[in-house]
Amino acid sequence: MDVSEAIRSRRSIRRYKAGVKIPKEHFEQILEAAMMAPSGCNMRPWEFAVVEDREILSEIMQIHPYANMLHTASAAIIVCGFPQEESSPAAGLWPQDCGASAAYILLESKGLGYGTCWCGVYPNEDRVEALKNIVDTEGIPFCIIAIGVPNEDPAPRGKYDPKKVKFM
Summarised one tens digit per residue, pLDDT across range 5-30 is 999 999 999 999 999 999 999 999 99
Angle at Cα 60 formed by Cα 54 and Cα 65, nearest 5°?
A: 125
The model's pTM:
0.96
Average pLDDT of the segment spanning 31-58: 98
For the chain, domains (ranges, CATH) are: 3-152 (3.40.109.10)
Dihedral sign for Cα atoms in the order 64, 117, 92, 31: positive
Within 10 A of 34 (CB to CB), how many other CB atoms are there?
24
